[in-house]
Structure 1
Amino acid sequence: MNENSKAVRNKELVLHGFTRFAAGDIDVLRTLLAKDFVEHSPGNPSGREAFIAYIAESPVARARLDLKRVVADDEHVVMHYRMTTDDDPRGIAVADIWRVVDGEIVEHWDVVQPVPEDSQVPHGMF
């Protein structure tokens, strides 16, 4: 893949933001999200400032995020990771889908699933 391609730039943008967010920097979202950012997850608000305020109070802001894979194309970046907390060491499997336009994240979807006991997933969740 050409290192100057949109897919590479989008992947680098979202990966940089994920890394900073996972390290506790919630404000990085202000540099990534479009002002009129659209959120597709039930119960989560759209709009950059409303979404950031919501996320700052949500469990993900205090969780450990263990990134497993990133897939990107010219418009989307998909991140698959495990989110754990002290109260939930088995955690949650998350797949985030981010739509990027002109260097800004404009939309987000996710799929979230509790990680079951190892015996229920013989080939692993990740």
Structure 2
Amino acid sequence: MSDNSKAARNKQLALHGFTQFAAGNIDVLRTLLAEDFIEHSPGNPSGREAFIAYIAEAPVARARLDLKRVIADGDHVVMHYHMVTDDDPRGTAVVDIWRLVDEQIVEHWDVVQPVPDAAQVPQGMF
């Protein structure tokens, strides 16, 4: 499989998973994450079952997720989105980086930043 077709397939898988998760289907992670999934975010556990249990209780599981862009390159897919919860109307800017192998996510990194007052970012966060 060429790098372009691998990137396109990985992007499709990540988009499907994101769409399902954003709609409240946490179980999609059971097929998308590898059993020995590695998590690089501080405080988040590695391993598929431990990560799913953790994320099911995290604010992201109840948030509105507005996907802004997706970039795919070979084994990696990058998603940039706006996460908004009822108690935080400004929300959070999130960039997730996923590495996929054999159509499963094997690693995850993220960058998370609270969205400041609009006056602080005249060009916007997104």
Q: What is the TM-score normalised by the length of structure 1? A: 0.97
Match of 1:44 in 2: 44
Q: Which 4+ runs in 1 deviate beyond 2 A?
A: none
| Pairing of 1:1-126 with structure 2 (within 5 A) | 5-126=5-126
Q: What is the TM-score normalised by the length of structure 2? A: 0.97
Structure 1 residue 86 displacement after superposition: 1.1
Q: Residue by residue, what CA displacement relative to the aligned partner does 1:51-95 show, whole Å, maximum 9, x if unpaired?
A: 000000100000000000000011100000000011101000000
Task: Tell me the percent identity.
Answer: 81
Task: Give the secondary structure class of the aligned counterpart of 1:17.
Answer: helix
Q: Residue by residue, what CA displacement relative to the aligned partner does 1:92-123 show, whole Å, maximum 9, x if unpaired?
A: 00000000011010000000000000000011
Alignment root-mean-square deviation, CA: 1.0
Task: Give the secondary structure class of the aligned counterpart of 1:5.
Answer: helix
Count of matched residue pairs: 124
Report the residue type matching 2:60 in the other structure. V
Unaligned runs of 5+ in 1: none
Unaligned runs of 5+ in 2: none
